[in-house]
Chains A and B, each alone.
Chain A
Amino acid sequence: MFRYVLAKLILTIPLLLGVTFALFVIGQITPGDPVLIMLGERALPEEAAQLRASLGLDQPWYVQYFQFVGNLLRGDLGISYRSKLPVAQEVISRLPATVELASAALVFAVIIGLSMGIISAVKRNTIFDRLAILLAMLGASMPVFWSGLLLIVLFAVNLGWLPASGRGTPAHLIMPAIALGAGGAALIARITRSSMLESLSQDYVRTARAKGLGEQIVILRHALKNALIPVVTVVGLQIGGLLGGAVLTETVFSWPGIGLLTVQAIGQRDFPVLRASVLLVATIFTLINLGLDILFVQLDPRIKYR
């Protein structure tokens, strides 16, 4: 297993380099000049030229790319075009906020998704089941900038129970986590339901009931456990989705994480910040996938490391 993990880790290096290369190419293709954006409506030629040179933007892009990779290998992510502050510090200081939001959203998605899925499967074709399916569809199809706003209007403006935006107390976390986790919850609920339905019709469930076990034990111990593998797969995939979805959620709720930083960096063409944020998220994503691979082996003894 150690060799397996090591091999996977080594493979992430070309992957991340590929990500940075793609970012450079996209940066080249995208119209918009960081210098012009910084100087705004009044960009004097001398100042623009000086600024461009001082940011290294007067070099051809491939030269800039190799400089970037060289600095990266030395652990230097560069200086923000805009604030002239070190990028690494900025990006890393935003990471806890995003991790906090994504974990809270994941917990919400798993708890709500699993319980709704189980109850739906057990109470198949009842009003509750229909309602849960409807809710799941709503959750999956509502974009976060819409559902987030609805939450804000209801809980912050009308009821005054929760702060509308920002970070600081656990209360600040509730709405963003729900808005971000709703899609995942819906997906998990649907997968759990169908997986549960399948395992509830298996022989071992009938056997368990025949043994005279209580219904609760039958459902939770026997049916659910065997229904979990597809659910775990979906949960794993959700983590990536949550990191991506954080971009919108963080904007709606002014949540000071990587997503908000990324959006600002795109608007300003602040490429060093953008590269560092994307690189960080890509690294996390890769590591999570690796973690999932290991997890699957633990869950299902039939899967082997190769």
Chain B
Amino acid sequence: MPRLARRTFLTQLGAAAMLTPLLAACQQQAAPAGTQPSESGSQSAPAQTGAGTKPAAAPAKPAAGGELRVALESDVVTLDPPMFTDVYSNYVSSQIHETLFQVDHDMKIVPMLAEKLEQPDDKTYVITLRKGVKFHNGEDLTADDVKFTYARVMDPATKSPRANNLTDAVESPDKIEVVDPSTVKITLKGPFAPFHERMTAGALQILNKKAVEAAGADYAHKPVGTGPFKYVEWKTGEYAKLERFDGYGGEKAKLDRVTFRPIPDNNTRMAELESGGIDFMSPIPFEEIEGLKKAGKFDVQVTDAINISYMAYNTQKAPLNDANLRRAMNYAIDKQEIVETIYVGLGAVAITPLNPSNWAHNPNVEPYKYDPTKAKELLKQSAYKGESLELAFNQAGEGPKLAERIQAQLKENLAINLTLKPMEWGAFLTYIRGGDQHQMFLLGWSGNADPDSILYPLFHSKNLGAAGNRAFFRNDKVDELLLKAQTTVKQEDRKPLYLEAQDIILKEAPWATIRHGIHSAALSKKVQGFKLHPLNRQLYHNVTVQ
């Protein structure tokens, strides 16, 4: 190889250094021209199971609605519905795809792609589809698509992490029958009350058979649904862009475009909102809610969430296998103070695991009201000998503050020494799965409209460990009640079963229920027509941006 003269080489090096930024800049500008709208932005709204809009009798003329830019806390994982388990993928996917049913703002299950549901008997669901619904590729929605979608979720080859939405209740895909092009009949293994709500799950968003087969493994980048917005482009880590679907079966969306952008850093997300780089973020970092409200520059929305944050005791492990010790600690924790100080008054003290708004909530249980005297008495009745206890929690978010507060209260009221164990999320989940390592821990749970989605996974002994019941709570009566409530179809018959189960759960105290949380969203004042949903479904149907 000929040796370059040193001088020439250095000159070239300098030139290369000078050119690099220019080249980079050119590449940058070339790309946005085609693909990037004038502003970048992102918006985020969590929707677990189905977001969409009600069909309207007459399709209204879409008003020019601009672009909504939504910030996501983390990137979309995939846009293939059975494959995601995170809320942010569903923020986007639920704009593109729709489910047969959806949960409305009043937590009622209402039809979406379905027109009506008939139940000739407790285990048979006959679903009639809405007429005139089109997929983004122009295909009509048919019963074949529904059968195809559900069978695909159930197929072990799909490897859906959310297959249990169907497999819990349906024996095999053969039990999903196409009666005629607009009617599907699903026969369950037995009566299973939560099934109606299962059909609102994000994993069960209805896909177009043809589109899925055509896209193959690449469906995540070629999604085709019936939703109010159709897919334009998803560039991982950068944005997901959607535009209005003008062939929408119901009332068309008003927005022209929706752009989602992952902005993982809380401070940066706030800065984007402040500087007008995004129009919408949900949730708002906790410590920012009050400030944003006071500043008055944004529309700050807060609504009660269907969730529960709790401290669980490992009920199988001494000394926490002693109910009196658990009850004592429950009385020693001042939940009101916790909600007011740590959560700046947002949300509500939790009395039972179910939100007061839930139809199965038991308002007549004996609540654990803050009572240090009673706590001390109960502690005396327990076998507790003064050993220190350990509280594990996720080090991110509110966990550390909550843990420190509980530590102080237990020390002050019961002289119990609590060792705090902050952990990284992944390590934490592993730590609390087995039951042989952990003593106490802090965790939350997001439920749906059906009380089964909360009580069954968290307190039935079939779900010990990672399946939800990490308190390792075993109670035959509760098991029986929860199973019976699951297989009883009428709400009025289920209610007494849930009331009794809550009664026992509170007496046995596998948990200290702490707080029912909130959903929050901050919107630029330019954004009109958005209302937070109790399950944080992202419904942009009526949204406009000036």
- Known contacts: A32-B426, A170-B29, A267-B426. The answer to whether A164 contacts B275 by CB under 8 A is yes
Q: Given A90-B236, A164-B277, A103 and B427 touching (CB < 8 A)? A: no
A225 to chain B: which residues have CB within 8 Å?
10
* CB of A180 closer than 8 Å to a CB of B: no
Q: Inside 8 A of A2's CB, which chain B residues have their CB?
A: 1
Interfacial residues of chain B within 434-481, with CB under 8 A of chain A in the complex? 443-446, 457, 463, 465-468
B residues near A166, Cβ cutoff 8 Å: 40, 42, 238-239, 261, 263, 277
- The 0/1 profile, CB within 8 Å of A marked 1, for residues 56-93 of chain B is 00000000000000000011011010010100000000
> In the complex the two chains form, is A38's CB within 8 Å of B85's CB?
yes
Contacts of B42 in A (CB 8 A): 166
Q: In the complex, A168→B159 CA distance in Å?
A: 35
B467 pairs with A44, CB closer than 8 A: yes
Q: Is the interface of A mostly helix, strand, loop or mixed?
A: helix
A174 CA to B303 CA in the complex, in Å? 39
Given A2-B1, A83-B78, A165-B271: A30 and B236 interface contact (C-beta under 8 Å): no
Contact yes or no, B426 A84, CB < 8 A = no
Q: Which of B3, B18, B83, B85 contacts A40 (CB 8 A)?
A: B85
Q: What distance in Å separates the Cβ of A238 from its nearest Cβ neighbour in chain B?
A: 13
In chain B, what residue has the closest Cβ to A45? B467
Count B-side interface residues using an 8 Å CB cutoff.
71
Q: How far is the CA of A166 from the CA of B72 in the complex (A)?
A: 12
**Cβ distance B277 to chain A, nearest Cβ, rounded Å:** 5
Interchain CA distance A45-B275 in the complex, whole Å? 46
Name B236's contact: one of A94, A103, A152 (CB within 8 Å): A94
Report how far A35 CA is from B462 CA in the complex, Å. Answer: 19
From residue B412, how far is it (CB to closest CB) to chain A in Å?
31
In angstroms, Cα B426 to Cα A30, docked, is 9
Residue-wise, chain B 237-249 has the 8 Å CB interface mask toward A (1 for contact) of 1110000000000
Query: How distant is B238 from chain A, measured CB to nearest CB, in Å?
Result: 4
Given A42, A54, A252, A264, which contacts B467 in the complex, CB threshold below 8 Å? Answer: A42
**Surface stretch bound by A, among B20-28, B176-184, B354-362, B375-383:** B20-28
Q: Which residues in B have their C-beta under 8 angstroms from that of A33?
A: 426, 429-430, 433
B163 at the interface (CB under 8 A from A): yes
Given A94-B236, A254-B261, A160-B24 contact (CB < 8 Å): no
Q: Name the distance in Å between A260's Cβ and chain B's nearest Cβ.
A: 6
| CB atoms of B433 and A36 under 8 A apart | yes
In the complex, are the beta carbons of B426 and A31 less than 8 A apart?
yes
Q: What are some 28 contacts across the A-B interface (CB < 8 A)?
A: A2-B1, A39-B466, A41-B443, A41-B444, A41-B446, A43-B467, A44-B164, A54-B159, A84-B80, A85-B220, A104-B20, A104-B21, A107-B18, A152-B268, A156-B272, A157-B271, A164-B268, A165-B265, A166-B263, A168-B36, A172-B40, A173-B25, A252-B265, A252-B268, A254-B261, A257-B237, A264-B74, A299-B10
What is B's interface to A at a CB cutoff of 8 Å?
A: 1, 3-4, 6, 9-10, 13, 17-18, 20-21, 24-25, 27-29, 31-32, 36, 40, 42, 74-75, 77-78, 80, 83, 85, 156, 159, 161, 163-164, 217, 220, 235-239, 261-265, 267-268, 271-272, 274-277, 424-427, 429-431, 433, 443-446, 457, 463, 465-468
A-B pairs, top 8 by smallest CB distance, nearest first, are: A32-B426, A256-B237, A31-B427, A43-B466, A256-B238, A156-B275, A170-B25, A164-B271
